[in-house]
Structure 1
Amino acid sequence: MSVQSQVTGRTAGGATATTSRRRLYRGEALTALFFILPSLIGFTVFYAVPAIRGLWISFTNWDLLRPAKFIGIENYVKLFQDKEFWNALSVTVYYVLLNIPLQTVLAMIIAVMMYRLTKSMVIRALIILPWLMPPVVVGLIWLWLLDPNIGIVNVALKALGLPMIAFLGLPQWAMPSIAMINIW
């Protein structure tokens, strides 16, 4: 003969186990919401609202002095008919196509090198250095390095018997030079 007993889901305090889990889940959810809320407010205030407002303004003729007048897609029609827009778009695409593949390949090479050279602190510091320097300082240093008259790059070219190049002054050299600076 066997004895069977029925076990209830109540704890010593009288609450069921599922009720305790629900309270715990609610507490965790409130804690998570508490931590996410500042980012959500920042995203809404500084990104979502301005983006929606900017989209609305793009469908108006507004000069900031008079009330906005809704004109539909007229601004976009003008934009797509503007030759300067297409030129700017092509320059941007060219810049992106120069940067993204080169940055990706170089990042992979550097990551493999860093993995293999983890004990060399000097090499790691030299590789990380560009991320630590302020962009304005880096821009000024590159401007000086690429100067057509006294820049170190042109001095080296002259020493090798090659012609000096205005890297940032010639259209055919400006974009590759800027891309190289960005990749660095």
Structure 2
Amino acid sequence: MKDEQLRTKEQLHKKIIEACKKGDNRARYKLYELYSKAMFNICHRMMNNREEAEDMLQEAFTQAFIKLESFRYESNFGSWLKRIVVNTCINAINKRKVDLTYCEEIYDYDTQEENDNYEPVFTVENITQAMAQLPEGGRMVFSLYLLEGYDHGEIAQILEIKESTSKTQFMRAKRRVVELLKQTHGDAMDKI
């Protein structure tokens, strides 16, 4: 049943995409409605600012509509669009000429081992607030790896850094998020 629903959804999206390629503005709006919320979330996590995220979303959709003829259904449309969104955000950040800041230069960390036996209850809001406090470089790596599903090799290529830098940035950003959650949630986090 799920396979049949997925095929039906893919066929519907294919019809919308094909109509977009022919210049149908109603189809473009429908495609925007289908994907804008998920793509905005990516923009917001990467830009850490609502207004900039809105700008990046519009820029990414503009680029997607311009490049739509190159979409060949070799992957699903959401993945193709996500790549455009991520690249749009990274290009905007690079234009600001912000270098990745090593977290260790800003924060001192304990080298305590994490206790894997305790599973704290986190809310998306708490984690999002902690992520917003990360340095830009750490936040980008953290978001691309953990939330967008890129591996460290892909992140290194996207951000033009070494793979080891990506891994280090992720580890430090993760520690910083835990540290921030401990600060804001005290006793509930002591078991981590």
TM-score under structure 1 length normalisation: 0.25
More helix per residue: 1 or 2?
Answer: 2
Structure number, greater radius of gyration: 1
Q: Which has the higher contact order (CA 8 A, sep 6+)?
A: 2
TM-score under structure 2 length normalisation: 0.24
